[in-house]
Amino acid sequence: MAYSDKVIDHYEHPRNVGALDKEDAAVGTGLVGAPACGDVMKLQIKVSAEGIIEDAKFKTFGCGSAIASSSLVTEWVKGKTLDEAATIKNTDIAHELALPPVKIHCSVLAEDAIKAAIADYKKKSGKDDSAAAE
């Protein structure tokens, strides 16, 4: 199967690989997927006092499309408010990376990772309005 140029670019030059201190109250961590399914994404966001995502990091176990999807969303969430970040849809990710149908689940996982990271941040900071949590 041939990968799109954008998938290859993110795979070969992943953006924002790394980890943030998960004990930091300003950091939300989302860990989604399962080793048995062949992909696990860990997405972390660091939220400023103003509620802006000022940093994002990821680590992913998965195929090229899973790595590219998580790399892409770290770029997209930076500078966004939590509400704005929560509006990122898997279809946007799949479209941007030109994912084939068999790889759509990678974009779904990336969307889940954002939502999980936001929910974790809200829970830790006591701002859990349960709207974004799932």
Which residue numbers are catalytic? 37, 106
- CB distance 96 to 72 below 8 Å: yes
Q: Does 111 bind another protein (CB under 8 A)?
A: no
Distance of CA 112 to the CA centre of its chain: 7
Q: How far apart are CA 47 and CA 117, in angstroms?
A: 11
Which is nearer to another protein, 7 or 47 (by Cβ)? 7
Q: Which is nearer to another protein, 3 or 121 (CB)?
A: 3
Q: Min. distance of Cβ 104 from another protein in angstroms? A: 11
State yes or no: residue 66 binds another protein (CB under 8 A): yes
Beta strands (DSSP E) in 13-62 are 27-34, 39-47, 53-61
Q: How far apart are CA 50 and CA 87, in angstroms?
A: 18
Half-sphere exposure in the Cβ direction for 40 (13 Å, CA): 5
107 binds another protein (CB under 8 A): no
Binding map of another protein across residues 16-35, x = CB under 8 A, - = no contact? -x-x-----------xxxxx
Q: How far is the CB of 50 from another protein (least distance, A)?
A: 29
C-alpha 11/C-alpha 17 separation (Å) is: 11
Of the pair 31, 52, the CB lying nearest another protein is at 31
Binding site for another protein (CB under 8 A): 1, 3, 8, 11, 14, 17, 19, 31-42, 58-64, 66-67, 102, 105, 108-109, 112
